Structure 1
Amino acid sequence: MIDIIKQLEYVHRQLEDGDELKTIVLRRHYDAGIDDVWDACTSAERIPRWFLPVKGDLRVGGRYQLEGNAGGEVLACEPPRFFKVTWIFGDAPGRSEVEVRLSADGDERTLFELQHTAAAPPDMWGQYGPGAVGVGWDLALLGLAIHMSGESLGDPSAWEGSDEARAYSTTCSRLWGEAHEAAGAPADQAKAAAANTATFYAP
């Protein structure tokens, strides 16, 4: 059985804190070949098994929509190593793009890197910092890890209310607070934002 909390240790989190654009980066390895990981990340049949149902034309120039979440345009695709999409959620203004890069590390191990660059609203950034987006992406990477392992959490809605899910989101929020501080935020500001994020994801 996969250790959910331990999965947090496998992710490297980084923040590039620009004046206008904020970039969060997550990196981790998966014990699967690059072609398998690429297929899991780009196949309309497999994406819902670990992330969200998706509709649209999943090729360069095509548009996609994740059920109840973001949508946008496929800007670039270089199988099996790189794709880039716009990431538009609701009426959020300004640029928002997600890049995913895969690198083979042997035949059955793949380095996964996700980079999300966006113009963050100052009020939201001040309240939550990078964790508002970072925890959501951590949960996506967790979903991919469970999918690649062949296991399942069972009913996602039941898991979301569990003590394990609360511990995961609280710890993940703290780790994004540490990344925030490492990027130059004052310690008290980073800790307060992390606490707000934890309350949001694990009320």
Structure 2
Amino acid sequence: MSRDGSIPAMDAVRRGLEIEADGEAVRLRIELTSNIAESPAQLWPHLTDPSELSRWYGPVGGDLREGGEYSAAGGAGGRILEVSAPHKLALTWEYGTNVDSLLLRLDPEDDGTTELSLVHTCEMPREIFAQYGPGASALGWEIALLGLAAYTGGWAATCQGEVPQPGPQWLTGPEGADFVRAWSIRWAAASVAAGTEEEAARRGELATATAYGAGPVGSAAR
């Protein structure tokens, strides 16, 4: 892991995307991977202890043991499918009528850090995907990982400047808008790489940025 402070915080996450169209739905496999400067054992409680989660993610309640059910901020919830501490957590991610899958993997690195991988597999109505692209789901996880990194200090050695805590005021401010625009651009690029026509991906980029309050793409670097 680079420790020279050369990475912008908006690029501390590596992104992967697979797209499969199936009738009226589009199936997405959205993957975000980042190095966090804590060992898996240190990082695990931040992802599984409700009191820790509330400090960087939001309120989470319920039984977070394997087989238990949980509720999360924003009306999401689901079931805990598999727990293998401190390396793997698999669960359903349910909101409205959607039942998605969410997988967190914590792999140790030789330098004592953790490669954290978050995989969200979901189905999106074709018209929603056509309007927003993968950013409709992916940007929420970008915000969450930024919050985790700010809370743990996990990007301090790798990123330029201070890693911001993405609270509501920050997200609607100039810096937050720049992050949202940059993330929208990057997920549009991932969508093109996965087979989406560029014009359609750019429409989704703009719609996603606008939906998150950032407005038209302007100052963020492509």
| TM-score of the pair, normalised by structure 1 | 0.91
Task: Map residues 95-106 of structure 1 onto 2, 5 A cutoff.
Answer: 95-106=99-110
> Do 1:85 and 1:99's aligned partners in 2 also have CA atoms closer than 8 Å?
yes
Task: Look up the match of 2:218.
Answer: none
The letter of the residue matching 2:118 is: L
Identity of aligned residues (%): 34
Q: Which runs of 5+ in 1 are unaligned?
A: none
Please identify runs of 4+ aligned residues in structure 1 that moved more than 3 A: 150-155
1:29-60 Cα offsets, whole Å, 9 max, x none, are 01111111111111111011111110100011
Q: Return the match for 2:150 from 146, 152, 159.
A: 146
Q: Distance in 2 between matches of 1:155 and 1:75?
A: 29
> Do 2:58 and 2:73's aligned partners in 1 also have CA atoms closer than 8 Å?
yes
Q: Which runs of 5+ in 2 are unaligned?
A: 155-161, 216-222
> Do 2:180 and 2:209's aligned partners in 1 also have CA atoms closer than 8 Å?
yes
Number of aligned positions between the proteins:
198
> Do 1:74 and 1:86's aligned partners in 2 also have CA atoms closer than 8 Å?
yes
Equivalent residue of 2:140, what SS?
helix
Equivalent residue of 1:87, what SS?
strand
The CA deviation at 1:154 is 6.8
The letter of the residue matching 1:17 is: I
CA RMSD of aligned residues (A): 1.9
| 1:109/1:187 CA distance change after superposition, 3 Å | same
Q: Distance in 1 between matches of 2:30 and 2:191?
A: 10
Task: Look up the match of 2:168.
Answer: 157
> Do 2:147 and 2:166's aligned partners in 1 also have CA atoms closer than 8 Å?
no
The CA deviation at 1:135 is 0.8
The CA deviation at 1:157 is 2.5
Q: Return the match for 1:123 from 123, 127, 136.
A: 127
| 1:184/1:40 CA distance change after superposition, 3 Å | same
Q: Return the match for 2:179 from 168, 173, 176.
A: 168
Q: Distance in 2 between matches of 1:72 and 1:138?
A: 20
> Do 1:181 and 1:190's aligned partners in 2 also have CA atoms closer than 8 Å?
yes
Q: Return the match for 1:13 from 15, 19, 39.
A: 15
Q: Distance in 2 between matches of 1:189 and 1:25?
A: 21
Equivalent residue of 2:51, what SS?
coil
| 1:58/1:50 CA distance change after superposition, 3 Å | same
Task: Map residues 8-47 of structure 1 onto 2, 5 A cutoff.
Answer: 8-20=10-22, 21-47=27-53
The letter of the residue matching 2:39 is: G
Q: Distance in 1 between matches of 2:31 and 2:107?
A: 15
Q: Distance in 1 between matches of 2:197 and 2:74?
A: 34
> Do 2:166 and 2:176's aligned partners in 1 also have CA atoms closer than 8 Å?
no
**Are 2:116 and 1:112 equivalent residues in the alignment?**
yes
| TM-score of the pair, normalised by structure 2 | 0.84
The letter of the residue matching 1:28 is: S
| 1:132/1:154 CA distance change after superposition, 3 Å | closer
> Do 1:32 and 1:110's aligned partners in 2 also have CA atoms closer than 8 Å?
yes
Task: Look up the match of 2:88.
Answer: 82
> Do 1:33 and 1:107's aligned partners in 2 also have CA atoms closer than 8 Å?
no
- Tell me which moved more, 154-163 or 58-67: 154-163
| 1:194/1:138 CA distance change after superposition, 3 Å | same
The letter of the residue matching 1:164 is: E
The CA deviation at 1:155 is 8.6
Task: Look up the match of 2:57.
Answer: 51
